[in-house]
Amino acid sequence: MSEEQKKLLETQLWNIANELRGKMDADEFRDYILGFIFYKYLSEKQFLYANKLLETETVKDYLKVTNADDLEAIREESLLKLGYYLKPDELFSSIAKKGNANTENESNFILADLDAILNGIEQSTMGTESEDDFNKLFEDLDLNSTKLGRSTEARNSLISKVLFHLDKIDFALEDAEADVLGDAYEYLIGQFAAGGGKKAGEFYTPHEVSLLMSEIVAHHLKDKKEIQIYDPTSGSGSLLINIGSCNAERMPFQRGSIYAMSKSALQGLVQGLARDLGPRGITINNVQPGPIDTDMNPDKSEFADMLKQQFIAMPRYGTVDEVAAMVAYLAGPEASYVTGASLTIDGGFNA
């Protein structure tokens, strides 16, 4: 995400916070904002994927598709690829537009529609592999809470304003470097830290603070037998787990030297810090994924077919869930004796 996009995101998040401020605690309106952001994220992924399917059709804009057979085909493909489905009139942009419509010409009441859509996202996954992932996804978004307004009209007006601000944000999903959800979470935690990130007595800590504390502990306090660290600087965001690439060990393609060099440098950083931090009982590790099925590198492409045939010992792409499982292992107590390691998960790409 560019600095300009990030600044716009923060501006709109601040505008939304101003709409909700005073009506509920920071923890609560942060949950509402993140919930609506995720709804917008799912909508934009659906819109982009549907438009990709429509590239060879007469109607190429998903918002303009009305043919029942076309919609059913998109629904089936979306459930397979995305794990959920949203109709054109259920997309975030459509609901935001309706909520801020001219009331003299059309209704701007969206609460019932929005509630049905959020429930429908979950219901669309029933019987599919993604059912568990979407179970109770929007459970914290209580659209009937009196904290949003005492009357349905007041609640409708407030939520419409929230959607209006979010609709101005370009999530740039086609940009591989964009991480709107992560940036939004970082910003909201940083600005509204009351209870922020606390879970079972823990605090949220930005990664930069964790690295700074690691340097202080490893170098500036290395001669002290005992040290004390202010608790919020050692919280739930401070796990020293980095995501690298299997290309740190093997780069079989041309024009990849700089990328491979940067990932190899990460291996050295992790090993060095493991030595420095080990005496303090702090672990640091590196996860190195290989070909993983993502929007940037989908497993259904000519390039993917070539990798599966020529390079990957297990002729398939890995999944995001498989990488997440390795990260979860490193973050858990079972990996308390693992440090300085670069764990490769690549299906034998480097074998």
Give per-residue pLDDT as tens, 258-286.
Answer: 777 778 877 887 888 888 778 767 788 88
Specify whether 253 is located in the same domain as 111: no
Can you tell me the distance from the alpha carbon of 208 to that of 217, in angstroms, rounded to the nearest whole number?
14
Residue 348 reports pLDDT greater than 80: yes
Q: What pLDDT band is residue 203 in, cutting at 50, 70 and 90?
A: very low
Specify whether 103 is located in the same domain as 247: no
Domain of 251?
239-345
The answer as to whether 27 is a domain residue is: yes
> Contact 173/295 with Cβ under 8 angstroms?
yes
- pLDDT tens per residue across span 312-331: 999 999 998 898 888 888 87
- pLDDT tens per residue across span 118-166: 999 988 888 887 788 788 888 878 898 888 888 999 999 989 998 998 8
Question: Tokens 């990664």 — which residue?
Answer: 207
Domain end marker among 158, 191, 224: 191
Domain end marker among 191, 225, 256: 191
Residue 202 reports pLDDT greater than 50: no
Specify whether 71 is located in the same domain as 185: yes
The stretch 32-55 carries a mean pLDDT of: 91
- pLDDT tens per residue across span 169-191: 877 777 655 667 777 776 776 66
Specify whether 88 is located in the same domain as 169: yes
Specify whether 310 is located in the same domain as 165: no
Mean pLDDT of the chain: 80
Percent above pLDDT 90 for the chain: 30
> Contact 188/33 with Cβ under 8 angstroms?
yes
- For 108, which DSSP code? -
φ, ψ for residue 168, nearest 5 deg: -80, -10
- Give the residue, 318 or 212, on which the prediction is more confident: 318
pLDDT given at position 230: 46
The stretch 297-323 carries a mean pLDDT of: 90
Can you tell me the distance from the alpha carbon of 18 to that of 292, in angstroms, rounded to the nearest whole number?
40
Q: How far is CA 150 from CA 16, 154, 157, in A?
A: 19, 7, 11
Give 168's contacts (C-beta < 8 A, 6+ positions apart).
8, 12
Can you tell me the distance from the alpha carbon of 9 to that of 81, in angstroms, rounded to the nearest whole number?
28
Specify whether 144 is located in the same domain as 258: no
Specify whether 145 is located in the same domain as 277: no
Asked which of 110-114, 193-197, 302-306 is least confident by mean pLDDT, the reply is 193-197
Asked which of 24-28, 212-216, 317-321 is least confident by mean pLDDT, the reply is 212-216
Calculate helix-pair angle for 26-53, 180-191, nearest 10 degrees. Answer: 170
Estimate the share of the chain in helix, then strand, then coil, as percent rounded to the nearest 5.
Answer: 55, 5, 40
Question: Tokens 């429509």 — which residue?
Answer: 54
φ, ψ for residue 254, nearest 5 deg: -70, 160
pLDDT given at position 233: 43
Q: What is the CATH number of the domain that holds 140?
A: 1.20.1260.30
pLDDT given at position 320: 87
pLDDT given at position 12: 84
Can you tell me the distance from the alpha carbon of 11 to that of 18, in angstroms, rounded to the nearest whole number?
11
Can you tell me the distance from the alpha carbon of 62 to that of 254, in angstroms, rounded to the nearest whole number?
38
pLDDT given at position 291: 92
Strands 285-289 and 241-243: parallel
pLDDT given at position 10: 84
Specify whether 16 is located in the same domain as 113: yes
The stretch 56-65 carries a mean pLDDT of: 94
One-letter amino acid of 76: E
Specify whether 176 is located in the same domain as 262: no
pLDDT given at position 273: 81
> Contact 78/50 with Cβ under 8 angstroms?
yes
The answer as to whether 214 is a domain residue is: no
pLDDT given at position 210: 58
pLDDT given at position 194: 44
The verdict on pTM exceeding 0.85 is no
pLDDT given at position 30: 72
pLDDT given at position 100: 87
The answer as to whether 199 is a domain residue is: no
Q: What pLDDT band is residue 195 in, cutting at 50, 70 and 90?
A: very low
**Domain count within the chain:** 2
Specify whether 181 is located in the same domain as 278: no
Question: Tokens 């303090």 — which residue?
Answer: 280
Question: Tokens 């307004």 — which residue?
Answer: 149
- pLDDT tens per residue across span 222-246: 565 554 544 444 444 344 777 888 9
Give 3's contacts (C-beta < 8 A, 6+ positions apart).
none
Residue 39 reports pLDDT greater than 80: yes
Specify whether 157 is located in the same domain as 250: no
The stretch 76-100 carries a mean pLDDT of: 93
Domain end marker among 191, 225, 259: 191
The two three-digit tokens of residue 43, written as one number: 């909508």
> Contact 5/178 with Cβ under 8 angstroms?
yes
Q: What is the CATH number of the domain that holds 276?
A: 3.40.50.720
